[in-house]
Structure 1
Amino acid sequence: MTALALSPTARPQRAVLRLHRPALTVWGAFLLLAAGALLWVHLFRAPAERHPVDQYFVLTDVNNVMNLLGEVLSYVSTAVAAWAGAALIGRELESGTARLAWTQSVTPARWLTAKLTAAAVPLTAGTTLLALLFAWVWTTDQDVLVTNWSWDRVLVPAGPLSVALVLFALAVGTLAGVALGRALPALAVAAGVTYAARYFFGRKWDDIWPDRHFWPVQLTATAVLLALTALALVAAFALLGRRTDIKGAAV
């Protein structure tokens, strides 16, 4: 077990976790706040809506709260893309930290794999948890919620589409970071592309395809996004390998 823990494969991932511990802390805090807010809606606001004491709550109306939570959760992918492009990849290439790691028996491909793995695991697990919780609250309390399933604030955070968007954001941020090699330009490009994808896949699909329902739209959009994610990752690894080969030949 000790040999496994100290293996060359484990070392890059451990270094990534240490380097990006603040980002993981922020992500953990966000998960707790979002999950707590969803449980608050289900345990307190929805019952209060069914048996109101006051006639109207301007700030705590259950639909307002759920719509706000849906909007926030549906745009998490844009923040992930910005972080991946700027902090996860772009900053390390720009500062030369990545090249230093490559001189310590860590190949560029393994360096990038470690970064993607360390980021993808908590992002996938956390987004899946929030998607399940959001879908459960929205379905259970449907009697007091009026938002249609096809609205982006429900469609995006209530199914696998949310997980696919986050993974797409990670891949796009990685590709932007590798391609541009600078934090701020990578941040801008990754966030812009991911925002466009979120806007497109979060459209009100029942206006476009009236015969479609929740799961066909969810699964179709998820499959397309995962395919685009795979293409972005292949491009990122290929571009990184090409650039390091050129620099190695030049040296």
Structure 2
Amino acid sequence: MQVIPVLDLLDGHVVRAVRGERAGYLPIRSSLAATSEPLDIARALLAASGARTLYIADLGAILQQRPHVATLAALRAALPGVDIWLDAGYADYASMLALFARIDANGPLTPPLAATLVPVFGTESLQDIHALRAAETAGFAPILSLDHRAGQLLCAPGVCESPEPARSWWPRKVIAMTLDQVGSYDGPDLATFERIRAAAPAGTEVIGAGGIRHGDDMAAAARTGALAWLVASALHDRRIGGPLAAST
């Protein structure tokens, strides 16, 4: 199972995400790097995991404050050959496209000389169910994050049908995101993952997120059929990494 490292950006720093309680997030203190500077942490996470995919949550954008445009452009330019999965709180396709244009304007390099940006649409922010299809038609290969808290899907009225968004507009990749488990060391929410995977249309790749503590959790997640899992704290604290992350 692939480990996909996670970078959470807030106020210009990489922060440690804990249970989705964003008001309390602090600059990361990581055993992998001496600073909380985004590029230093990004390189350290990729090296520790052996991954060529980096998930970035721009919490400034998600909280409707200020997106990290210059930081994202610098990361994209400095990480050639990496896929950056970017959740920036897109409400619709137009807002996604506008942010991508601003990032491009701040960073002149384009693939294959820069990282590829892949939009992640989180249900906690999404306001238009047509956004994913529009992004897919435009060639962006969007990802849907089904965001849960306290066992409930976070989703705007009119966007989701009970209990989840209409599966007809799910893209090829879907993330089972349980915010309560993020950074918690409570273990992964395998029940939610398995429910989403069982309901997913044929051919859908379902990716887990949050709660990984050690190699046994990785093995348990792999047994559910997960192809990948989003991980941050266990990498920063060296509970997984190196050969373990690459081969589990």
The answer to whether TM tops 0.5 is: no
Identify which of structures 1 and 2 has the higher relative contact order when contacts are C-alpha pairs closer than 8 Å and 6+ apart: 1
Q: In proportion to residue count, which structure has more strand?
A: 2
**Which structure: larger Rg?**
1
Structure 1 length as normaliser, TM-score?
Answer: 0.24
Question: What TM-score does the superposition give when structure 2 sets the normalisation length?
Answer: 0.24
